[in-house]
Chains A and B, each alone.
Chain A
């Protein structure tokens, strides 16, 4: 949806993630096998692959949580190997496993995470007001997070991951198990963040959601086997939807 018509030069300058032969091995097992790709600033990038294809391992390296065995990765201008702490400051992360504190209220969670990310109290206050209004959560502000429906929790977790205005947010299966209506509301938050210039890297098992991405990559056995816009990918695999592309690639049907 954005940056599609940049020429090669600006693309290089606008890359928020660059990897070059990024590799991770565990003993004899190569989980991520020399992947090289770029993600552009402001892009919604779908990071797809079968279970065990290496997505989570790759994400852990990109978020500075796991040292690569070899190869390079730069995220938001910093080398994940040399400056993992600088990387962590500039990224947001939301996992499929709900990561806010269930026994704190909505307001307390926002304050806690704002504090962890080093925001000033005044900033936290104004951001809390904005966030509650945007999510229409004002009536629930002082309720325990554990009492909210799953879809609301996920929307809140995403907004909290954006609190410190990261340049890029990693979303690991954010809509797993969420109802179809809330799933779409969640994607509208993603679109909105992208329209504001945030880059989003999303994993999902819902293939209709792959269509919402500007570009997608598909990992098979530790390698990136395809990377393109959903439209171009469907054309090159002569597939009617992303589900079919996925099946052809992941199982060679």
Chain B
């Protein structure tokens, strides 16, 4: 549904997107996971025909992003990262406007947006600028869907949104996927990778890995332990001096400790680490093996 072939884009000395090749199948929620400055938005702008690539090519729904841009724009929906609806139009006026621009009406495609729009319909006479963050997001999603696109582009829909609203938003995307919509979503939140069918981990314009979320974490080879004690700051500093340590960083209530040696059984390694920490006067030491997450893999790929 989306084919990207050696796509590149530079701004002056900065190569924002470097030779990216990937394809997205029909019905996927494909995640582009990476921090600010990774090149996600530049990639999205090229795929939505809002920016010309320097080199390489891309097609969406079988339409070339340069040559077929007019038809492409009918076939796609785009929800940009920054709220871009008309703040001084009401909820209903915004939706009606976007429907009209695409030559359709709210009624014609109401079924697709009904589960989402019904949540903001009680406020349809309110100006968009006066909506809460979560409601603005729902309206923006409705406006991007009103012409029944085949592919939906969502650029950082979760940024600056609290975890509860983020979860609700992902539930809505899950429902859209069941209706066969293909989606490309970008996010800096690593935990959202698990909600995608496949993900690309992106950093400094380049893709570091493409796989299913499971495939990404399976590629993490070294033993990983979760460790805690009463003084976490000191714990991390101490663990970094441990023989055989590959990496150590905070991870929620634990510190994640990556070890170089894959041969030592976990129980022996655990005992050695516990002894080491007790010798450093750490109290209430707790240690267990940890399953690597996408975030652990991202950190590993960044270090390489």
Residues of A within 8 A of B (CB): 1, 49-53, 96, 149-151, 173, 176-182, 184, 187-188, 191-192, 194-195, 205-208, 211-212, 230-231, 241-243, 246-247, 250-251
Contact = CB atoms under 8 A, between A and B. Distances in A.
A219 B286 CA distance: 31
Interface string B37-68: 11000000000000000000000000000000
B27 interface: no
Contact of B34 (A179, A231, A246): A179
A70 B35 CA distance: 41
Given A211-B252, A231-B253, A205 B162 contact: yes
B252 A250 contact: no
A241 B190 CA distance: 16
Given A51-B132, A212-B232, A247-B164, A187 B250 contact: yes
B160 A173 contact: yes
B203 A179 contact: yes
Interface of B: 34-38, 132-134, 159-167, 188-190, 203, 230-233, 236, 249-253, 295, 298-299, 302-303
B188 to A, nearest CB: 5
Contacts, number: 94
A212 B250 contact: yes
Given A151-B35, A188-B250, 19 more contacts: A1-B232, A1-B233, A50-B162, A96-B160, A149-B37, A173-B160, A177-B35, A179-B34, A179-B36, A179-B203, A180-B298, A180-B302, A181-B299, A188-B233, A241-B252, A247-B163, A247-B164, A247-B167, A251-B164
Chain A interface mostly: helix
29 contacts: A1-B232, A50-B162, A51-B132, A51-B134, A51-B160, A51-B165, A176-B160, A177-B188, A178-B188, A179-B34, A179-B35, A179-B38, A179-B188, A180-B298, A181-B303, A182-B35, A187-B250, A188-B233, A205-B163, A207-B252, A208-B251, A208-B252, A211-B252, A211-B253, A212-B232, A230-B253, A242-B252, A246-B163, A250-B164
A150 B164 contact: no
Contact of B231 (A1, A52, A242, A250): A1
B161 A205 contact: yes
A51 B162 contact: yes
Nearest to B164: A250
**Residue from A180, A182, A243, A251 whose CB has the most chain B CB atoms within 10 Å:** A180
Nearest to B204: A149
B160 A50 contact: no
A173 B161 CA distance: 11
A51 B160 CA distance: 8
Nearest to B13: A147
Chain B interface mostly: mixed
**Residue from A1, A179, A212 whose CB has the most chain B CB atoms within 10 Å:** A179
Contacts of B163: 205, 207, 243, 246-247
Given A50-B165, A212-B250, A205 B160 contact: yes
A48 B291 CA distance: 27
Contacts of A206: 189
A187 B250 CA distance: 9
A246 B164 contact: yes
B54 to A, nearest CB: 21
A181 B165 contact: no
B134 to A, nearest CB: 6
A249 B190 CA distance: 23
Contacts of A1: 230-233
Contacts of A194: 233
Given A179-B35, A195-B233, A52 B250 contact: no
Contacts of B203: 179
B35 A178 contact: yes
Nearest to B189: A206
Contact of A191 (B133, B159, B233): B233
Contact of B250 (A178, A184, A205, A247): A184
A160 B35 CA distance: 23
Nearest to A191: B233
Contacts of B35: 150-151, 177-180, 182
A178 B162 contact: no
A242 B252 CA distance: 9
A49 B159 contact: no
Contacts of B236: 188
Contacts of A191: 232-233
A49 B132 CA distance: 14
Contacts of B37: 149-150
Contacts of A246: 162-164
A192 B232 CA distance: 12
B296 to A, nearest CB: 9
A51 B134 CA distance: 8
A212 to B, nearest CB: 6
Contacts of A51: 132-134, 160-162, 165
A59 to B, nearest CB: 15
Contact of B295 (A173, A177, A180, A195): A180
